[in-house]
Structure 1
Amino acid sequence: MVRGKTRMRRIENPTNRQITFCKRRNGILKKAFELSVLCDAEVALIVFSPAGKLYEFASSSTLETMERYREYWKDVQVDHTLEEKIIQHLKEDAAEMTKKIEAMEVAKRRLSGEGLELCTNEELQQIEQQLERSMSKVRSRKMQVFKKQVGQFKEKEKSLEAENATLREKLGIRRSQEPSEEIAMAASTNSRQDSDVETELFIGQPLGRIKRTQPLK
C-alpha cells in the first residue's frame, strides 16, 4: 500500500496528534543518535511535548553543548557588531569625502570665474586674494625657471668660448709655421738653381780674344 503525502498542518484530532508526536519523536531521537555516532558530531536535541514534558538527547552533555552554543553566538554577535561599526565608519568617511570633493569642485569653478553669481562680497574678496597669492607663486616659480635657464646658457657660452680659444691657439701655431716653411722652400729652390752647371761647349779662342765668326777674305 502506497503511503500518501502528509500535509504539513496541525492535526486537529488530539489522539492522532499524540500518536504522531510519539512516532516522530522517537524517529528524530534515533536520527540524532545515528548522526553523533556515524559522523562523530556533537549533537544535543531538546523536545517538549504539547503537555510540557521534556525529551532530550545529547552526545556528550546537553548543558555543555548549550554553553558552547551561547559562546558561539556571542562571537558571532561581536563579529556582526564589529562589521556593522566598520561599515558605518566607512559610510561616514565616504560621505565626508563626497562633501570635500563637492566643495573642491565649487572652489575650482569659482577660481575659474564660474558660479560667482551667488557669492557674497566677502567670498569674492577671498577668491581675489587667493588668486593674487597664486599669481605671486606662479611669478616666483617663473623667475626661478628663467634664472636656471640663464645659468645654463651662460655655462654653455663659456664652454663654447673655451672651445673657440682652443681652436684659435691651434690655428695660430699653424700660421706661425707657414712663413718658415715658405723660406725653406725658397732656399731649396735657389740652391737648386745655383747648382745647375752650364755644359755648353765653345770651340775657338777663349773669351776676351777675338772670336772668329767669319772667314778671312
Structure 2
Amino acid sequence: MTRAPIRPAPWTVETSRVEYTDRFLTHRMDRCLTERGNILDPYHVLELRDWCHVVALTEAGEVVLVEEYRHAAGRVVRGLPAGTVEAGEDPAVAMPRELTEETGYSADTWITLPSTWGNPATQTNRVHSYLALGARPFGGQSLDPGETIDVVLKPAGEALADLMAGTWVISGLHAAGLMLAHHYARMHAAGDPRLAPLAR
C-alpha cells in the first residue's frame, strides 16, 4: 500500500526561549517538531520590526538613492531610502518620514507596492515597498547617530540597466522593490506620464 506523501505544514513549537533581546531584535530559540516527525533544537528565529523602502522618482526622471556604509558587508552600499517601521506604526506613515530623514526629500504621490518577507525561514518581519512620484528637496537630513548618508540622483533607466548588468551591487530586498516599481510603471505609464522614465 502506497503512503500518501507528507505535505509541508506548520511545525509544532514544543518549547521556546529568548536568548537575547534589545531595541533592534529578539533572538528566539525554538524546539520544533516538524511535519515529518523530526526534532529541530535549537531552531533560531530573529524577531525584527517590519522594514520599508521606496523608489522615489523626481520630475526629471531620476531615482533618489542613498550611499551608506553597511558594516556587515564592510563597504559603502548604494541603495533605496529605507528604514524600520516603529511598533504600532503604519508603514505608509513610516516611509515618507524615512525618505525625508535620510534624504531631505518629500514626494507628491505615494503608491503602495506588494510587500514581501525579509527572510521567512529565520526572520519574522515583512518588507513594505513603495513608489513615490514628484520627489523634490524638502529640507535637510535628520540622521541617526550611526548614519552618514550621501544622496545620489540617478536616471531611472541607468539605475535599472546597472542593476541588470550586475554593476550595481544592491540589497536583494531593494532590488525586489526596484523591480516591483519598474513593473508597476510599465503597467501604468500610459495613464501617468510621470512613470515613463521608470517604464523603459
Whether TM-score is above 0.5 comes out as no
Structure (1 or 2) with the larger CA radius of gyration: 1
Q: Which has the higher contact order (CA 8 A, sep 6+)?
A: 2
**Larger strand proportion, structure 1 or 2?**
2
Normalised by the length of structure 1, the TM-score is 0.16
Normalised by the length of structure 2, the TM-score is 0.17
**Larger helix proportion, structure 1 or 2?**
1
